Amino acid sequence: MKNRTTFRVIYKDTDAEGVVYYANYLGWFEAGRGELLREHNISLTDLKNKENLVFAVRDLQCEYLKPAVYDDEIIVETEIANLSPARIVFSQKIIRKKDSEILTQATTTLFPINLKTFKPTRMPESVSRQISEFISMSNRSQETTSS
């Protein structure tokens, strides 16, 4: 299932020419991942406070295709591409709203860390199951749409 979150490019996101500074896309990607999980009732705050678990970025591959500029409305589109008990892989795009142009796309791999030991750990079964369920629902919905 995809989450689509909209932002407007503000002055602080840009360089002197009004073009979005490349690192700012990473913050929008992070916000998109958080919104996707929140939309499916997975609270990162609860995972931290109740399970002593946080997610860390293991790998990020980002392709910058076209620039966003000051005052553009952008859509961050996020979906889970792969899931295992040891990692979540997100596929993301930043799209300019007015013309649906894909500006940037990324694949980000996160892994769970135990806050007490700061070592990689497995996701709680309940979280894996919950994510798997909405991936399955998404796949069924896509099959129905493409039929």
Q: Helix/strand/coil (H, E, C) string of 66-130?
A: CCCECCCEEEEEEEEEEEECCEEEEEEEEEECCCCEEEEEEEEEEEEEECCCCEECCCCHHHHHH
Domain assignment of residue 110, given as a range: 3-146
CATH code, domain carrying 56: 3.10.129.10
Using N-to-C axis directions, what is the helix angle for 24-39 and 44-51, rounded to 10°? 80
Q: How high is the pLDDT of residue 59?
A: 97
Identify the DSSP state of 21.
P
The per-residue pLDDT for range 111-123, each reduced to its tens digit, is 999 999 999 999 8
Q: How high is the pLDDT of residue 112?
A: 96
Listed in sequence order, the residues at least 6 apart from 130 whose beta carbon sits closer than 8 Å to its beta carbon are 40, 41, 42
Model's pTM, two decimal places?
A: 0.88
Split at pLDDT 50, 70, 90, the class of 142 is low
CA distances, 52 to each of 36, 55, 130 (Å): 21, 11, 18
Other C-beta atoms closer than 10 Å to the C-beta of 40 total 16
Look at the chain and report how many structural domains it folds into.
1
Residues 66 and 111: their CA atoms lie apart, in Å, by: 29
Q: Name the amino acid, one letter, at 2.
A: K
The per-residue pLDDT for range 3-28, each reduced to its tens digit, is 999 999 999 999 999 999 999 999 99
Give the residue numbers marked as catalytic: 15
